[in-house]
Structure formats: C-alpha cells, structure tokens
Amino acid sequence: MDHLAEYRRWLESDVFDRETKRELKSLSDAEIEDRFYQELSFGTGGLRGIVGAGPNRMNFYTVGRATQGLADYINERTKEGSAVIAYDSRYMSAEFALDTACILAANGIKAYLFGSLRPTPELSFAVRFHHATAGIVITASHNPPAYNGYKVYWSDGGQIVPPRDREIIERIGTTAYGDIRRIGKTEAEKRGLLVLLGEETDRAYLDAVKALSLSPEAVMRQGKKLKIVYTPLHGTGNLPVRRVLAEMGFEHVFVVPEQELPDPAFTTLAYPNPEDPAAFLRALALARKKDADLVLATDPDADRLGVYARTKSGGYVRFTGNMSGLLIAEYVLSRRREKGLLPKAGDGAIVTTVVSSEMAYPIAEEYGLKVVGTLTGFKYIGEQIEKFERAREKFGRTDGSVGAYAFEFGFEESYGCLAGTYARDKDAVAAVMLLCEAAAYYAEQGLTLPDQMERMYRKYGYYAEELGTETAAGAGGAERIQRAMQAIRQNPPETLGHCRVTGVTDYLAENTGLPKSNVLRFALENGWCCVRPSGTEPKIKFYIGANGDRDGAEERMKAVKRDLLRLTGFEV
C-alpha cells in the first residue's frame, strides 16, 4: 500500500468526517506511515488494533466496514438474521458497540445489545440463549490500553473458524468505507431491530455457571472460612464474579479497591494481563493484609484467570495457566467420577491446544478420556465441542469410536478453561467459581491448592512449562518475525537445550488434520517446544515444556529457550 497516497485519499474523500481529518493532519511522518502502510486486517477472529484514525487503526470506519461486510454475509444466508453484541471497558468500546448495532439494524438484522459492559463468555452464552445468527464482542482482551478489538462469533456460540472465517473476510474485503449503512438508535428501536439486554440474560448465564458446581456441601462449610482477594483489573469481571461467589456461599471476598471500577486507561497497570506477575502487586498486598487463601485476577473481558494461592507456611505461589487449568480439570474430573457422571472409557474427551501442557495426557488416561489437540486459540476448542455435538446427533449416542465424544473439559496455556457446554469460549467467571470450590473441597482434606498441585505432580509426574515472548513492532516488525520463522523452518535444529529433537511438525506446510497455521512444534527427549507469531500483537511466541525430575526439567526448559532465541535472532 502506498501510505502517502492512501493518507491523501482519507484527507480528500467526502466519506471521512472533519474530526477524523483534523486528527490525521496533526500526525508526524512516522505516525502517518504506521497508520497507512497497511489496512488493519480482519484476521481469523476479527480486528485488533490501536484506537485512532486511519486504515491501520480501530475507528468507526474500520469497525463499520467490518460490520457492513458481516451484515451482508448474514443477509446472504438468512432472511431473519440477528446478532448479540457485548463490550468491555476499553476506550470507545461502548461507542463501537452501539454503532455496530445501528449498522446491523440498518441492514435489517436484529441487534441484541447489552446495556453495559459484560464478560466475553457471557456473549458466547447469550448467542445460544437468544438463538442468534452471530455475536460480536468489542474487546482487546489483555492488550495494552491503547488497543481495542472486534471479535465475531457464530450461532453455535463459538468464534468463527474455517471456512466461515475466510468467507467473512472475503466479504469484508469487497466492502468499501462508503458502503456502510447506518440508522440512529431511536429509529432502530422503533423498528424493533435494537433490543437492550440485561438481567434476564445475566440470570440465565449465572445459573448455567452455577450448574457446574460439584461440591456445594464443602462450600457451605468452608465458604465461611476461606478468604479470597479478587481484582477485575478495571474490567468486566467485577460484578459477575462477586455475584456468583456470593450466591455460592463465599462470604469473605475482598476486591482490590484501586482496580475495582472500569478504567480504559488501566491507570494502576502497565499491562492488564493476569499472566503478568506485575498485575498482582496490589492484590498480593491486600492478600497479605487480609491473610487471604486465594488471590485471583481476571483480564478486562473476563475470559482469563490468573491465580496465586497461599501455602501452609504463609507464602503465595503463582499458578501458570497450565497449572490452574489442570488443577481445575483434576478437581472436576475426580468429582464427576465419584458422582458417576463421567462417560464410559473412551467416550469422553479433554480438548486442549498443541502449545499447552502435556500433563493433559496422563490425566485423560486416569479418567478414561481422549485428548483432542487443536491449534492455538480457544475458538478451536469451541469448534470441537460443536463437532462432538453434531456427531452425537448423527449417531444418536455418545461414542468416541465415531467422534461423538462427550466434552468433559477444555483448557489452553494462556489462562483459559471451560468445564461445560453452555458457552463455547473460555470463561474466567466459571473458572473462579470452580477454583474457589476446589479450594473449599481440598480444605476439607487439610490441603491448600499448592498442596494439591504437588499431589498431582507425584501422581502424574512433574511438568515444567514456560511461555516466552519477543516484541517486534512497527512496519518492519512483521517482516522480522516472518524472517525468524523462515530461518528456523528452513534449518530445523537437531538439538535444543542439549535435548535431541525427535520430531518436527510444521502446521503450515504439513497436512496435520488441523487448519494451516504458521506454527512449528518440536518434539524433544523428555519435552517439547513450539514457535509461532502472535495472532493479535506484534510478537513472536516461544512455548517450552519439559518433564521428569523437577530440577532437571526446569534446567532443560531454560536451555531450550536460550537456543530458540538464538536460532530466531531474538537473543539479547
């Protein structure tokens, strides 16, 4: 794209408003290049970018174009389309959500719009609850404050996946900014094409979450004793998380006051991500003051959960996303087995991603389940749930031999999990409830959550896992990341961290049974690693896992990481 020619077009076209042009005229040469060297691409999940004017930014034109293309796609496939729209606490989220609803309404599509911010998993639930054709959530999840995003869901409640994602992308690609049709909110409501959602949907969602409970009797006893510190990190989790914990019977929940209310600037945080230990500084300080047992944080759209848990000696242990997901899985599966709720051996499944912990395999074996692996992104886990359901409908039974599995649990290393089929995306509200219930259940046995994690290591073996990320921003960043991927793809190593490479899987070049993706996975002696570009940020990601004795696994993991950074040109 000729960035200067496109810049002049935005300044000269009647399509763009005066305020947009005023902002564009104030830009430096470097800012002009960054905003106009490419269009903000509608990827396989939607849009994600910095808020501002220009084609490489999130604004009413880029969001409107995506919505108009989606509306055309819906209308080409159904006569009475509808969509649910939710949004988080970021800059312009409410404005983008209302504009999206008004564009859909102008195209004859009924828009169900939440009247205030809601978690992403509730949007996934609401699409199914209201039998909508599609869903849209305005969120940039855990990205820095300058970002916002736009994710699209389909009628099953899951994010769009191949081939539908490519079809929608193609339809948006044929849409011009001048094609966007809008009507006002009042007109949309008058035509019955804009409906505001509230308590009815909230109540149904929370009831679905609470239906996952497996140890209400333990909560009844321990809920009066356990102390929980929680921070929503200025996001959407505050009200639903506190509400579900209160309804379950947890009486001592302390919310970090400085991070309780929505704040698009995320003033108390450099990075609103529960994966980042820095996000817990205030929560841990409050936990020490309150002598809390659990310290929990949800990201701005409340689909990811970060955890610290107190040991018997009084310190706090950080749980990775793999650790918290596996601990919840072990709790859920063991309790379901005790209650006779698991399917017969071979008929149920755990669904996880190719970059998540391999401890999933011995856990699945323990409970007679199959592990189904997917690409990175919870949308692929949601897709498997839908496939399982279609297979059960086809064969009229649950039968793993024909792919008609019962979905028992899904998790990914990036701090997300799902224990039911009421939604098709990771749900931190449910994860909070189940983790707190697990803490109550194990407290009845005299165990803390760190104690239970150690029990799992003794039972299944020790697994060390780490995620490393390197940022390469700007116009040249994407090229640098692609060069790094190409270098390691063309010259795959024979050893990594003194471990022999026993196999290489290239998910872009090989037929793996999964959609093509720019991911390389290396099988190692007593471990594995993956390299891939981020789908939402200018980053390259390195996933490393090792198992065996604790000291040896930790050292191998660090050595593998050093080699990966060197081979891709990102070593310091």
pLDDT of residue 270: 87
With 70 as the cut, is the pLDDT of residue 475 above it? no
The pLDDT value recorded for residue 572 is: 60
Strand partners, 49: 148
pLDDT in tens, 317-353: 999 999 999 999 999 999 999 999 999 999 999 999 9
pLDDT in tens, 429-467: 999 999 999 999 999 999 999 999 999 999 999 999 998
Helix (H) or strand (E) holding 103: helix 93-106
Domains belonging to the chain, first-starting first, are 38-197 (3.40.120.10), 204-460 (3.40.120.10), 462-567 (3.30.310.50)
Average pLDDT over residues 122-141: 97
Q: How many CA atoms lie within 13 A of 93 on its CB side?
A: 36
Q: Which of 567, 559, 275, 460 is CA-nearest to residue 544?
A: 559
CB 383 within 8 A of CB 311: no
Confidence of residue 196 (pLDDT cuts 50, 70, 90): very high
C-alpha distance from residue 405 to each of 100, 315, 330 (Å): 37, 41, 19
The model's confidence at residue 473, banded by pLDDT at 50, 70 and 90, is confident
Q: 395 in helix, strand or coil?
A: helix
Whether the link from the prior residue into 163 is cis, omega within 30° of 0, is yes
Residue with tokens 């989790």: 237
Each residue's pLDDT tens digit, 495-538 = 999 899 999 999 999 999 998 899 999 999 989 999 999 877 78
Distance from chain centroid for Cα 18: 36
Q: Which residue shows structure tokens 């321990």?
A: 222
Taking each continuous run of H as one helix and of E as one strand, the counts in the chain are 19, 21
The Cα 395–Cα 347 span in angstroms is: 13
- Contacts for 402 with CB less than 8 Å, ≥ 6 apart: 391, 395
Percent of the chain at pLDDT > 90 equals 91
d(CA 308, CA 404): 37
- pLDDT score recorded for residue 142: 87
Tell whether the model's pLDDT for residue 136 goes beyond 70.
Answer: yes
Q: What is the pLDDT of residues 151-164, one digit of tens each?
A: 999 999 999 999 99
- Taking 90 as the threshold, does the pLDDT of residue 381 lie above it? yes
Catalytic residues: 141
pLDDT interval class at 27 (50, 70, 90):
very high
Average pLDDT over all residues of the chain: 95
Determine which of 76-80, 124-128, 166-170, 477-481 has the lowest per-residue pLDDT on average: 477-481
Q: How far is it, in rounded angstroms, from Cα 529 to Cα 465?
A: 9
C-alpha to C-alpha distance for 54 and 63, rounded to whole angstroms: 11
Residue 44: which pLDDT band, with cuts at 50, 70 and 90? low
Give me the residue label for tokens 């990175």: 376
The model's confidence at residue 556, banded by pLDDT at 50, 70 and 90, is: very high
pLDDT tens digits, 282-306: 999 999 999 999 999 999 999 999 9
CA gap 440, 449 in Å, rounded: 9
Structure confidence by residue, pLDDT tens digits, 309-326: 999 999 999 999 999 999
Mean pLDDT over 256-260 rounds to 98
Tell me what pLDDT residue 6 has: 96
Average pLDDT over residues 274-282: 96
**Do 518 and 533 meet the contact criterion of CB atoms below 8 Å apart?**
yes
Of the pLDDT bands very low, low, confident and very high (cuts 50, 70, 90), residue 149 is very high
Is a pLDDT exceeding 70 seen at residue 414? Answer: yes
Distance between CA 73 and CA 164 in Å, rounded? 10
- The whole-number pLDDT of residue 571 equals 77
Average pLDDT over residues 460-485: 88
Question: Is 441:218 a contact under the CB 8 Å cutoff?
Answer: yes
Tell me the backbone φ, ψ of residue 372, rounded to 5 degrees: -110, 120
**Residues making up the chain, counted from first to last:** 572
Please give the share of the chain, as a percent, with pLDDT higher than 70: 99
For residue 418, CA distances in Å to 42, 80, 305, 387, 441 come to 26, 31, 11, 16, 19
